[in-house]
Structure 1
Amino acid sequence: MNGSQVDPQPLTVAVIGTGPRGLSVLERLAVRLRELPVPRRLRVYAVDAVEVGAGRIWRTDQQDWFTMNTVVGQVTMYSGDPDGGPARPGAGPSLGQWIAERARTHGEEPLGPNDYASRLRYGQYLRSFHRTIVENLPEGTELVEVRDRVTALRPRPEGGYELALESGPVPLTADKVVLTTGHPRNEPDRFEREMLDFAADRPGVHYLCGDSAADLDLGPDTVPAGATVGILGMGLSFYDVMVALTLGRGGAFTTLPDGTLRYEPSGAEPRIVAGSRSGLPIPARGRNQKEPHHSHRAIFLTTQAVELARKRREAETGSSRLDFDEDVLPLLLQELDHVYWTAHVTARDGKEAGEEFARRHAEALLTGGDSDTLLREAGLDALPALDLQRLARPFTGRHFPDPQAFRAELLDVMRQDLAEADLGNSDGPLKAALDVLRDIRNVVREAVDYGGLLPASHQDAFLRRFLPVNALLSAGPPRYRVRQLVALVEAGIVEVVGPAAVFATDEDEGAFRIESPQVEGSARTARVLVDARIPTPDLARDTSPLMSGLLADGLVSEYVVEDEVHGQRRESGGLAVTRAPFHVLDAAGRPRPDLYALGIPTEHTRWFTQVGSSRPGVRTLFSRDADAVAADLLAPLPQDLLPQEPALDAGPLVGAAAGALAAGRTA
């Protein structure tokens, strides 16, 4: 650091929630502290109710069969790549590099850059990342670990907040507070309440509300061996529950000579009956063929295209809000089609032919030319067009005479998808195109965030129609997980009832009833029902005393979109925040300059906030968001909000905070 003058006014910051979002703020704070021309005295409380430095979802005491769905080479928490020096804030290893180093120095299991790590291992990486931050804080900075639950946040007359802790009566005090609280737990909705009430009156009947699989009670006391367990939803969490009830019960998979898997039951597993709207378990991610820094460069759905659409809407209607189906989706589909057809030509005729086709195809679409003629000339007209709705809902309008017929069809669809996934996410036309859905999220965000869409369009076109399809096709599990499911279906351990699955109670049987109206004879009963859908943020239903108290006290508010031109209104359920640096908005709609929120609590105001890492070699939005918060944390508050007394509390620290200081966990 340069200069000898020390800021006489210390600053106290509390980061509530130390999963990836909270840690990213701490890292950028450490980087910026070292860049300050004048040292700044600072105390940071890193507060987490489960595990400081990992958080609840990535905590390091969970079983290792829960898997990430991004390859390790594409995951990093550091805001800069290694530079030859020691790992430190701003320059450190990706998850893949960290695992490779641990394999070399500690003999741990190695993974290649295109392999998938367990959530446990990522939690260990997060803990290592956290220690690196602590060990590299500049002089005059303290980082205090507080393993406790914050139950309330109360403004102080002199500025800042008191943080009430679950463990004791003495609060922490902070000038500024960052809410990075992660996945919520919600009050049951009407369906969940009906299921819970039904189970409460019947011994041995259980309904498990949606949550991280590591937090669900899936042990044999709740889900006995040989019993039938229903699973609602077949997204990523479905695979976690499936594995916990099979591999987690001592079962094993054997690889056969043809590369397929066979399941060897232990006898301790239950029988699984699953269902969802689509009737299709979320398909596999394509074999990764891309470098960590690779990202599709948009040609059609660009920032400029979104801005032009806004100007056109404002000129036509007086409102700049977009219609998703008319202004965004056609450009998105052009982006996918372009990659899909180009990959077909490249696979058939080579790279140069693919590049020439891409040039002509892009030109045709951008100028309103005849792309169909180009497809015929290229000999592509006989190939099936890319149809997201058909891929996500392959059984729409179909009727099956019995469960065996549906099972055969389902296995055929899953095996075809695995074959496409084996081709890769560059060489394989289908998975290359679907991978674009991940790469253009930032442009979609520019279209939809902060009320960018008409309220009715956001609710119907975006949330109800597009997002379920997007979630199913863009974020699948590793291929081996889908192969395991195929083996479990073949072994009779897992049964998928069919599309449009209905979950209800059966008074006569004293159990839950699961069936598909499109499959004759599909009805099954189960005494245990597991909801494998991750709860969506809903500020009004959040069971956290902290969040409910902030809402009741008017310190935060729900994000509501009103379009007076069209007479439309949408109550989002998300926490209202400004654009970067993400100050919360109080009940009067005023930004609170000393209170920030980042990540999942702000979902619905911003889209796809559940991202849990950055990417090597890329200045991602994940890192930029954290940096914006860190920069504002170090900026002076408006004069009328500056505390009148020293911010550092001379009183005793509570619980884990006192233990942290006593153990010397400060820098």
Structure 2
Amino acid sequence: MNAGDDRRIAVIGLGPRGVGALEALAALAETRGLRLSVDVFDPFPAPGAGPNFDPDESPLCRLNIPMRDIDLRAPDSLNVRPLADWLDPPIGPDDFPPRARLGAYIQHRLDALDRSQGVALSRIAEHVDAVRREGDGWLVQTGDHAHGPYAEVLLVPGQPKTKPDPQLADWQAHASRTGCALAQVYPAKDLLRKAEDWAGRTVAVRGFALSSFDVLRVLTQGLGGRFTSTGYQPSGNEPRRIVPFSLDGQPPFPKPETEEIDARFDPLPDETTVFEQAIATAACGTPETARQRISDSLVPPVHRILAASSAKTGADAVAEWLDTEWSDPGSQDSQSALDTLNDGIAMAAGSKPPSIGYAVGQVWRKWQDQLRQGYNPADTAPDTAALIVGFDEGLKRYSYGPPVDACRELHALIEAGIVTTRLSCDPGIALVDAGWRLTANGEDVTADVMIDAVLPSPDPAQLVDGPVPGLMEAGWLTAPEDLAARTAADGRLVDRDGRPVPGLCLLGRLALGSVIAADSLHDCFGMASHRWAEGVLSRIA
């Protein structure tokens, strides 16, 4: 094979997305008789897994995807077994694996890349401070040392450290002054160590989405409590009360419990073809065109599914629901948090007909691959991008839901009096010497512990370290208003003059707007990685 050392590549950050990109590059390079030198910069001990899938993380943190829906095939040339065959002990098809076990598998796939004929990997366990242009290449700065030059640099930032939002910044100052506890949900193993001192205390949780379910498990099962057929059996080590809250106060809806129930929401092939055409047109059209084409593709399958479930809901009602969702997502969900929780459990278990929103969310979940395939390669106008991304983000309360067992556990904790949802909807929050006083619906609770379970927005301007701030200042990385970094279809950053930057790429959530549904694990091993690999080899050739 031809040596590729004179065309060196740097990958900054890794995790599952970086592993997926390198697998695509290795497979493609091998078919073309190339062997490329790749330096991977990542100080995390398990760089393939990354912090979100740390093999040493608490097993209480689970994926929001059942085993039956996980399909992360490695290139044949790597000779890596599928996840279901690799796991020992195995995990049932309807079970939701711990993130740590998936992380161990992805780390195993990174190790397999060391045997690849397409890439020669060198790992540099250092934090990257800057990336700068030199001649036709790029230098990567770590401390006092400049590495390179590299023909290609790929940024895979994952969820980098950001500035705290104004509310969190105030709380950090308040906790520093008063000595009250303010904690982050992750790493959950660190949260568990802190929680060992919180027995009998009141804990508030900012955020009522997927991360809050990890918090609840850590503060209950992690401290010795047990969920049984009769409810929750406390250990006595738990907080006295846990108070989750968010802007809308609603828990997410769980995914269908079994494969048989999930299949009720399968779109027909003709319906999927219509959606594929709709999203391709929408991504290149005006906001109004996008809205109309996507809604028109959703109404027939959702109406059909509701009719099959004996729900007496007409197509006009589905269209009206979608109109409201585009303009005011979530406003249709006006029940109490407890009623929403109970309805979600019943719909996921198949004991209650699905609502319009639940059916829309499940169909949308099943079209995620088609959504990315139609949207991501397109050059979408910023106002259209903001509209479609906002629609996708709003539907996550249905499409990205937790396992139904997690919702049953939440219900059991409410029944046991450990969790209350009576203050879950946008409570007033006063900073007091004893902590945080939450007020809503004529009730108030003072928490002396606050846990932040809110995922920061993917705004490059809010990053506090690493190479992104410098790249923004130099004009290599740009972000339209209300969107993240602008990238071309192959991941190349788009500069302040609107031109793709040669040899400087970014993949992942920090490009939200240029790409969509980037939080999906499957997206890490999907076409975005292949388009990047194709672009690299075409430029190197």
Task: State TM-score, norm by structure 2.
Answer: 0.86
**CA apart distance, 1:56:** 1.7
8 Å CA contact retained: 2:43, 2:127: yes
- Which residue of 2 is the match for residue 156 of structure 1? 134
Does 1 or 2 have the higher relative contact order (CA < 8 Å, sep 6+)? 1
Does residue 214 (structure 1) correspond to residue 188 (structure 2)? The answer is: yes
Aligned pair in 2 of structure 1 residues 146, 322: CA closer, same or farther (>3 Å)? farther
The answer to whether 1:332 aligns with 2:298 is yes
Deviation of residue 8 (structure 1)?
7.4
TM superposition shift of 1:98: 1.9
Give the match for residue 342 of structure 1.
308
Q: Which residue of 1 aligns with 2:200?
A: 226
Deviation at 1:546, TM superposition (A): 1.4
Map of 2:142 onto structure 1: 165
Paired position in structure 1 for 2:521: 612
Corresponding residue SS for 1:164? strand
Give 1 or 2 for the bigger CA radius of gyration. Answer: 1
Q: Which amino acid letter does the alignment assign opposite residue 234 of structure 1?
A: F
Corresponding residue for 1:55? 50
Q: Match for residue 170 of structure 2?
A: 194
Instruction: Give the 5 Å matches for 1:10-29.
Output: 10-29=6-25
The structural deviation recorded for 1:412 is 4.6
Superposed displacement of residue 32, structure 1:
1.1
Whether the aligned pair in 1 keeps the contact of 2:459 and 2:483 (CA below 8 Å) is yes
Provide the rounded CA distance (Å) in 1 between the counterparts of 2:6 and 2:344. Answer: 58
State which of 39, 63, 66 in structure 2 corresponds to 1:45: 39
Q: Deviations over 1:585-610 (max 9, x none)?
A: 12332211211111111013222211
Q: Deviations over 1:356-386 (max 9, x none)?
A: xxxxx9xxxxxxxx968xx9xxxxx9xxx99
The residue number in structure 2 matching 1:419 is 346
Q: Could you tell me how far 1:49 is from its partner in structure 2?
A: 2.4
CA distance in 2, matches of 1:587, 1:222: 50
Is 2:39–2:121's contact at 8 Å kept on the other side of the alignment? yes
Inter-CA distance 43–491: structure 2 relative to 1 (3 Å threshold): same
Q: C-alpha displacement at 1:491, in angstroms?
A: 1.0
Contact 1:206 1:528 in 2 (8 A): yes
Deviates more, 1:57-66 or 1:283-292: 283-292
Matches of 1:321 and 1:388 in 2, distance apart? Answer: 15
Task: Measure the CA separation in 2 of the matches of 1:477 and 1:435.
Answer: 13
- Equivalent position to 1:513, from 416, 431, 437: 437
The 3 A distance-change label for structure 1 pair 601 and 92 is same
Residue 525 of structure 1 is matched in structure 2 by 446
- Counterparts of 2:280 and 2:153, CA distance in 1: 34
Q: Give the gaps of 5 or more residues in structure 2.
A: none
Q: TM-score, normalised by structure 1?
A: 0.71
Equivalent residue for 1:440?
367
In the TM superposition, residue 424 of structure 1 has moved relative to its aligned partner by 9.1
Give the Cα–Cα distance (whole angstroms) in 2 for the partners of residues 288 and 453 of structure 1: 39
Q: How many residues align?
A: 530
Deviation string 1:312-362 (CA, Å, 9 cap, x unpaired) is x7xxxxxx45455544335434442233223449xx9xxxxxxxxxxxx9x
Amino acid at match of 2:99: R
1:303 equivalent among 276, 280, 290: 276
Choose which of 400, 414, 420 in structure 2 pairs with 1:495: 420
Q: Is the 8 A contact 2:243 2:423 kept in 1?
A: no
Are 2:10 and 2:154, in contact at CA under 8 Å, matched by a contact in 1? Answer: yes
The answer to which structure has the higher helix fraction is 2
- Secondary structure of the equivalent of 1:551? helix
* Aligned partner (choices 83, 104, 116) of residue 96 of structure 2: 116
Q: 2:115 corresponds to which residue? A: 135
Instruction: Map 1:157-556 to 2 at 5 A.
Output: 157=135, 159-166=136-143, 169=145, 171-203=147-179, 205-208=180-183, 212-214=186-188, 217=191, 219-220=193-194, 224-256=198-230, 261-289=231-259, 296=267, 297=269, 299=271, 302-306=275-279, 320-322=286-288, 325-344=291-310, 396=334, 410-423=337-350, 433-442=360-369, 444=371, 446=374, 452=380, 455=383, 466-467=391-392, 469-498=394-423, 500-507=425-432, 509-516=433-440, 519-521=441-443, 523-556=444-477
Give the letter for the 2:407 counterpart: V
SS at match of 2:472: helix
In structure 2, how many angstroms separate the alpha carbons of the residues matched to 1:333 and 1:488?
A: 37
Give the alignment's Cα RMSD to 1 decimal: 3.6
Deviation at 1:62, TM superposition (A): 1.0
Deviation of 1:118 after TM superposition, in Å, equals: 0.3
Q: Which residue of 2 aligns with 1:646?
A: none
**1:119-165 Cα deviation digits (max 9, x unpaired):** 10010010111122222335xx42112222111112222x3222112
Deviation at 1:25, TM superposition (A): 0.9
**Alignment-derived partner of residue 586 in structure 1:** 495
5+ residue gaps in structure 1? 81-86, 104-108, 314-319, 349-360, 362-369, 376-380, 399-408, 561-570, 615-620, 639-667
